[in-house]
Structure 1
Amino acid sequence: MFRFETAGESHGECLVATITGLPSGIPISLEKINRELWRRQQGFGRGGRMKIETDTAHIVSGVRHSKTIGAPIACIIANRDWKNWTQSMPVEDFDGAAEHFKEVKRPRPGHADLIGCIKYDFDDARYILERASARETTARVAVGAIAKAYLAEFGIEVLSHVVGVGRETSTYEATWEDLVALSKKEEVLLGTVDPETEVRFKAVVDEAYRTGDTVGGIFEVRAHGVPIGLGSHITWDSRLDGKLAQAIVSMQAVKGVEVGYSLEGAQSFGSKVQDTIHYNKEEREFFRGANRAGGLEGGITNGQDIIVRGHLKPISTLRRPLESVDLPTRDSALAVYERSDVAVIPAAGVIGEAMVALVLAQAMLEKFGGDSLREAKRNFANYQTQVREF
């Protein structure tokens, strides 16, 4: 059974990720995992935390001699900032600990601060924001990189780019080759493939910097090389588009998701939305006239690129705080300011890649199974033959 989990707090000692259910024999490269972690930290608009951390993965189980062994994989990512919080957030209490508390008594609008305090019966939002923080996604990216390694064995790749920042949107039609080139860059500004668009995007972030505000945007994740037949129309919870939507919206600050070009489709007539069906007799394969459906029909992959877009709200921590309430007195007060980012859209794209990769890995395992990679590949090859002979 495929499953992943994360643990850890933003200013705790480390982040922990586990992934269970992958077959043995998958090649694992720490260099590639760390490259994904590096990509998550990049982008214009990031805050001071990214200057402190240099995220690297430390795998402690489930991988031997650079290959999975079929056992649960556990990965640790240390928080370098922990040295500044050892007395503020100790695991075990000690005399005088209260003197070192870094309490949060003025909850931020839009964050989990207030509702988390109410739900978990705390009078200090510190314990809520530490886990609600998007620092948790570092662990997701680590296990997502492992899922990517599994998918790569079947010719499946997952990448992203930014298509909107604030009210500015891109009209550039990015190709898969554009996304590959973007993923290899050593300097990331705003994660878009078109230089002219990036200039417009940067101007929006500059404005947010100038005014002490934050800004959101839209990122697009594409999965290339996905076979026909993942997911199902049989039950509501087996539809792959539903699983992808849940995975993307589970990301901090993501409030909406598109599969394919759903917003454009909602404003069009049906004749303009559906992807026409054609057949190449020489290649003996079906193909489509477009990909407005984003690679999924009826909750099932149709062999085209999967396209999923996440709509990211501006993050909740503002240098010019909004109105809030002081928890001890219940008086009006400005929300607390925690060191934070101004814009995180390129990083969100990388996190989105991880989430899509994890969902696709689960779908591949459900369909093709296998305790070893060799067994899974044999099952996959037999199915591909069945598809070609249809």
Structure 2
Amino acid sequence: MRYLTAGESHGPQLTAIIEGLPAGMPITEGDISEELARRQKGHGRGRRMQIEKDQAFIASGIRHGYTLGSPVALVVENKDWKHWTKIMGSEPISEEEAEEVKRKITRPRPGHADLNGGIKYGHRDLRNVLERSSARETTVRVAAGAVAKKMLSLLGIEIASQVLEIGGIKAESLPYSSLKELKDATEASPVRCFDKGAEQNMMDAIDDAKKNGDSIGGIVEVIVEGMPAGVGSYVHYDRKLDARLAAAIMSINAFKGAEIGIGFEAAHRFGSEVHDEIAWDQERGYYRTSNRLGGFEGGMTTGMPIVVRGVMKPIPTLYKPLKSVDIDSKETFQASVERSDSCAVPAAAVVAEAVVAWELAAAIAEQFPSDQFGQLASYLEAYREEIKEF
């Protein structure tokens, strides 16, 4: 399984082409649009989310609610495109028109891809960089992740997320009885936080940052239940599933760190306080008496819940100006913006779910026969029974 995305932030549409889905898997536009709506929520989002009401359109690969086994094309229209048709159009324009509509950008913003992307591709107009490097691209990554989440759910694997920290405000680690309880609580929270006591403080921190023309980041956590043991590999470094999850988290715009299980905390503990002891019973098969390693050993799943965290830096598009240098005049200036999110951590949790779901679904499709969905489900169920008696 693999996918490719295309599209610019203010272009006509965003597109994802997915290859390798098993044939006969049920999926609808509603399954995908539901995830897109979740991505647009959250205290601290900017005006762009009021403009866009993201809906997925399935352009190919699905007929009457079932995958065909051929590539699936997903399209999300940019409603704001109508205001950008001249600026972002694909047809050539004259020099006179260019001066009028192109809005050439020569002032790179600190913390963005603007300057480095211009250097790499030789763009003197940095709009050519920022339109693609924008986090708007995560819209279709969530769409692709929604397909993966649907596949996993049909295979008995469920995913949820929560926000653990925003702007230095930390949520308490509270127990929950099931992923459903966690999902219900976080979906109802404006900051996707399970700890009601921290929720208002997080919202206040976002509001304070916005008032000051600043932005704040935070930490999100993704939890997955139902993955069988032994998915991934200890044989090849690039097939270690925990490594693939870490790379997926780090690929999300503005994410600067990833950890699995207790992660960096392991550096401060003795080995006896880190590793998870092994147990077995007839009903569950093998399991661990703790889950400090977050569902992974040796690059493979252990069958315990997968726990992955990512840290998102504050969004670099600020109302509080930072110094930069114009690439044409080389003069120093203070960067400024017209609109931005003051915090996108709650939305980023949804993106994190999507990228984690994709890697897990892809790993399952690699390891088990997956041309037909029914065949995949049967093999996976048989495997689950088999490893109980290993």
What is the match of residue 206 of structure 1?
Answer: 207
1:1-390, aligned counterparts within 5 Å?
A: 2-95=1-94, 96-98=96-98, 99-175=100-176, 176-182=179-185, 184-185=187-188, 188-280=189-281, 282-283=282-283, 285-390=285-390
Q: Do the aligned partners of residues 153 and 106 (structure 1) sit closer, same or farther apart at CA in structure 2, a change above 3 Å counting?
A: same
- In the alignment, the residues of structure 2 paired with residue 181 and residue 170 of structure 1 have an alpha-carbon distance, to the nearest angstrom, of 17
Moved more, 114-123 or 373-382: 373-382
SS in 2 for 1:310: strand
SS in 1 for 2:24: strand
- In the alignment, the residues of structure 1 paired with residue 35 and residue 53 of structure 2 have an alpha-carbon distance, to the nearest angstrom, of 12
Q: How far 1:102 sits from its partner (Å)?
A: 2.1
- In the alignment, the residues of structure 1 paired with residue 257 and residue 187 of structure 2 have an alpha-carbon distance, to the nearest angstrom, of 28
In the superposition, the TM-score normalised over structure 1's length comes to 0.96
Q: Is the 8 A contact 2:186 2:193 kept in 1?
A: no
Q: How far 1:222 sits from its partner (Å)?
A: 1.0
AA aligned to 1:226 is: M
Q: Is the 8 A contact 1:21 1:70 kept in 2?
A: yes
AA aligned to 1:12 is: G
Structure 1 residues 92-143: Cα deviation after superposition (integer angstroms, max 9, x where no partner):
0123431101222211111100111111111111010000000000000001
Moved more, 215-224 or 367-376: 367-376
SS in 1 for 2:85: coil
AA aligned to 2:263 is: S
AA aligned to 1:311 is: V
- Structure 2 portions without partners, runs of 5+: none
Q: How far 1:33 sits from its partner (Å)?
A: 1.0
AA aligned to 1:306 is: I
Q: How far 1:284 sits from its partner (Å)?
A: 6.0
In the superposition, the TM-score normalised over structure 2's length comes to 0.96
Structure 1 residues 156-189: Cα deviation after superposition (integer angstroms, max 9, x where no partner):
111111001121211232432332213653xx41
Structure 1 residues 297-346: Cα deviation after superposition (integer angstroms, max 9, x where no partner):
11100011111101000011000120011222101101241421110001
Give the fraction of aligned pairs with identical amino acids, expressed as a percent. Answer: 46
AA aligned to 1:70 is: G
AA aligned to 2:303 is: G
Structure 1 residues 339-389: Cα deviation after superposition (integer angstroms, max 9, x where no partner):
211100011110001100100011100111221111112211221221122
AA aligned to 1:112 is: A
- Structure 1 portions without partners, runs of 5+: none
Q: Is the 8 A contact 1:253 1:315 kept in 2?
A: yes
Q: Is the 8 A contact 1:178 1:193 kept in 2?
A: no
Q: How far 1:216 sits from its partner (Å)?
A: 0.4
Moved more, 176-185 or 292-301: 176-185
- In the alignment, the residues of structure 2 paired with residue 284 and residue 244 of structure 1 have an alpha-carbon distance, to the nearest angstrom, of 25
- In the alignment, the residues of structure 2 paired with residue 284 and residue 89 of structure 1 have an alpha-carbon distance, to the nearest angstrom, of 56
Moved more, 288-297 or 72-81: 288-297
Q: How far 1:73 sits from its partner (Å)?
A: 0.2
Structure 1 residues 50-84: Cα deviation after superposition (integer angstroms, max 9, x where no partner):
01000000001000000101010001000000001
SS in 1 for 2:280: strand
* CA RMSD between the two structures: 1.3
- In the alignment, the residues of structure 2 paired with residue 31 and residue 49 of structure 1 have an alpha-carbon distance, to the nearest angstrom, of 22
Q: Is the 8 A contact 2:162 2:193 kept in 1?
A: yes
SS in 1 for 2:87: coil
- In the alignment, the residues of structure 1 paired with residue 198 and residue 270 of structure 2 have an alpha-carbon distance, to the nearest angstrom, of 29
AA aligned to 2:386 is: Q
SS in 2 for 1:88: helix
Moved more, 188-197 or 350-359: 188-197
Moved more, 100-109 or 46-55: 100-109
SS in 2 for 1:27: coil
SS in 1 for 2:206: helix
AA aligned to 2:74 is: C
Q: Is the 8 A contact 1:24 1:67 kept in 2?
A: yes
- In the alignment, the residues of structure 2 paired with residue 108 and residue 254 of structure 1 have an alpha-carbon distance, to the nearest angstrom, of 17
Q: How far 1:24 sits from its partner (Å)?
A: 0.8
- In the alignment, the residues of structure 1 paired with residue 8 and residue 209 of structure 2 have an alpha-carbon distance, to the nearest angstrom, of 28
- In the alignment, the residues of structure 2 paired with residue 191 and residue 174 of structure 1 have an alpha-carbon distance, to the nearest angstrom, of 16
Q: Is the 8 A contact 2:320 2:336 kept in 1?
A: no
- In the alignment, the residues of structure 2 paired with residue 303 and residue 342 of structure 1 have an alpha-carbon distance, to the nearest angstrom, of 38
AA aligned to 1:77 is: V
AA aligned to 1:357 is: A
- In the alignment, the residues of structure 2 paired with residue 222 and residue 154 of structure 1 have an alpha-carbon distance, to the nearest angstrom, of 16
Moved more, 362-371 or 45-54: 362-371
- In the alignment, the residues of structure 2 paired with residue 387 and residue 337 of structure 1 have an alpha-carbon distance, to the nearest angstrom, of 56
Structure 1 residues 32-60: Cα deviation after superposition (integer angstroms, max 9, x where no partner):
21110000000011001001000000001
